[in-house]
Amino acid sequence: MFKFILYSVIGIFLLIFIIGLFGEDSRDAPNPPYVDWSKYAAYKKIGIEKSIEERSCSGLQKAFDAAEGSELLNFIDWHLNNIGCYN
């Protein structure tokens, strides 16, 4: 009985590892994550969009560091990856 439980637990961990290894990274999605801009001040949207248009890694990184809320962080992170700031 103990071996069965041990092998089951090991199997579950391996399955989780494999799914994580081959799972899709949201930064590789074809489109950026949705952001409900009504939750944020207009100057934040303007500044982020300006950094995206200028392909400014430093501007986006500053926005990322100052951002609050996972949807905004995911949006900026997607653009940091898409622009090539992580290369």
**Which tens digit of pLDDT belongs to each residue from 23-65?**
556 667 778 899 999 999 999 999 999 999 999 999 999 999 9
Q: What is the CA radius of gyration of the chain?
A: 19
pTM summary value: 0.69
Q: Is 34:15 a contact under the CB 8 Å cutoff? A: no
pLDDT of residue 79: 94
Phi then psi dihedrals of residue 79, to 5 deg: -70, -35
Q: Which two three-digit tokens encode residue 38?
A: 């009504």
Question: For the chain, which residues make up each domain, given as ranges?
Answer: 38-87
Q: Tokens 């944020």 — which residue?
A: 40
